[in-house]
Amino acid sequence: MWIGVISVLPELFAGLTTSGVVARGIAEGRLHLEFVNPRDFARDKYQSVDDRPFGGGAGMVMQAEPLAAAVSAAQRQAPGRAPVVLLSPQGRVFDQTTAQAGAGLDSLIFVCGRYEGVDERFIQRYVDEQWSIGDFVVSGGELPAMTVIDAIARQIPGVLGNSRSIIDESHLDGTLEYPQYTRPENTVDLPVPAVLLSGDHGRIQRYRRREALRRTFERRPEMLTCRVFSAEDRKLLVDCFENEASNAKKQNY
């Protein structure tokens, strides 16, 4: 997969491209990242890419022309037609489904905004989608872009060392992941749940599914809204509710 990144601070991506999953994908030739700096297309000697907003207001706004030239340069290098995505708090929230869909594309271009925003005319003419990583504001689009690229890279076949990791990840089936334990069997005064030591793979699978459902209900109940549950999942959820009610009753005595 080919990914272009439009950023005035491409050096921020050094860690992403030299360590971890993304770096592995690059080293194995499964992922290619190309960085284009809008400053290279600025028209003045100061390489300015921002100016004061019309109508007044605090801060500066990224100019349309340097961004447009940078996107055009990236599109000339991309294999095929690369959708342009602006990382923006005004975009739709990026999720696992979007990561999977993104990994199915041959190419993508991410635009990292800075300052108070981006000239709306650039967005109207060049941007296909806007993605957000949450309802909060950071200093620019670089950190969101890194998060999105990492999430997409994990979905590219062969990038992860163990393909099973994708199957068991949180959010893949609309639930959070079950709790994980490793050796030793007793640590920080707490034991591993006995079921995980039983060797009974059926019991272990049911335990993990029940814990995934329980965690999702407790921490992100909105993820379970409007879901159609299997008969087994309904039974496991009932078990969770009954255990919670039993524990609450014991605490009241």
Q: Which class in CATH covers the domain with range 2-153? A: alpha beta
Q: For all residues of the chain together, what is the average pLDDT?
A: 90
At the topology level, CATH places domain 186-251 in Trp Operon Repressor; Chain A (1.10.1270)
Provide the pLDDT for residue 250: 62
**Annotated domain spans of the chain:** 2-153, 186-251
pLDDT at 58 over 90: no
Amino acid at 54: F
Burial class (CB in 10 A: 0-12, 13-18, 19+), 63: buried
What are the tens digits of pLDDT across the range 236-247? 888 877 777 666
What are the tens digits of pLDDT across the range 70-89? 999 999 999 999 999 999 99
Query: From the CB of residue 160, how many other CB atoms can be counted at a distance below 10 Å?
Result: 17
Predicted structure pTM score:
0.82
Amino acid at 107: S
In b/e form, how buried is each residue of 82-108, taking b as 16+ CB within 10 angstroms? bebbbbbbebeebebebbeebbeeebb
What are the tens digits of pLDDT across the range 98-141? 999 999 999 999 999 999 899 999 999 999 999 999 999 999 99
